């Protein structure tokens, strides 16, 4: 079950590989994510100090949490992965033009996981070709 998706990611990037990882959240943030209030648009992943972090992920304050004074809804959150996976990812993004893009937040039991992809940015003409293919496929399905 997906709580939120980043639809723009597949439009703006060619996703070459996908990964799933845990994310460090506070209790009220988990409730807010489960309520479907998270927003992945504009977020990205970056390495800092040998660790992977997600930046720009907007999780608004949970409406029923009265104790959250000074809450920062776009704070930097840590991604939980094994060191060998992190070193492998770091080697891959060192290649020219590759980046890590969040795709979705979903539940795995009682935990919230982040699915992200290793992607290459699309050019404007690539985006137009994708839209044309989608329109053609839609027309074919209508005819059937």
Q: Which two tokens stand for residue 37?
A: 């209030």
How far apart, in whole angstroms, are the C-alpha atoms of residue 74 and residue 13? 22
Q: Which of 114, 109, 105 is nearest to 80 (CA)?
A: 114
How does pLDDT run across 45-77, given as a tens digit for each residue?
999 998 999 999 998 888 777 765 677 778 899
Rounded to an integer, what is the distance from CA 29 to the centroid of its chain? 16
Supply the DSSP string of 70-92, one letter for each residue: T--TT--EEEE--HHHHHHHHHH
Which residue has better confidence, 7 or 51?
51
Instruction: For residues 64 and 22, give the distance between their C-alpha atoms in angstroms, rounded to a whole number.
Output: 25
Q: What is the mean pLDDT of residues 79-102?
A: 88
Q: Rounded to two decimals, what is the model's pTM?
A: 0.77
Span 2-143 CATH architecture = Beta Barrel (2.40)
Report the range of poorest mean pLDDT among 15-24, 29-38, 123-132, 135-144: 123-132
């Amino acid at each position: 079950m997906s709580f939120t998706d980043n639809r723009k990611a597949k439009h703006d990037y060619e996703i070459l590989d996908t990964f799933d990882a845990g994310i460090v959240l506070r209790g009220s943030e988990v409730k807010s994510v489960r309520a479907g209030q998270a927003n992945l648009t504009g977020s990205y992943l970056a390495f800092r100090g040998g660790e992977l972090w997600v930046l720009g992920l907007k999780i608004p304050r949970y409406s029923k949490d009265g104790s959250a004074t000074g809450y920062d809804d776009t704070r930097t959150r840590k991604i939980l992965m094994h060191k060998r996976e992190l070193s492998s990812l770091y080697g891959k993004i060192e290649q020219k033009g590759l980046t890590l893009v969040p795709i979705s937040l979903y539940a795995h039991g009682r935990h919230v996981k982040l699915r992200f992809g290793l992607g290459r940015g699309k050019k404007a003409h690539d985006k137009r070709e994708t839209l044309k293919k989608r329109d053609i496929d839609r027309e074919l399905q209508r005819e059937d």
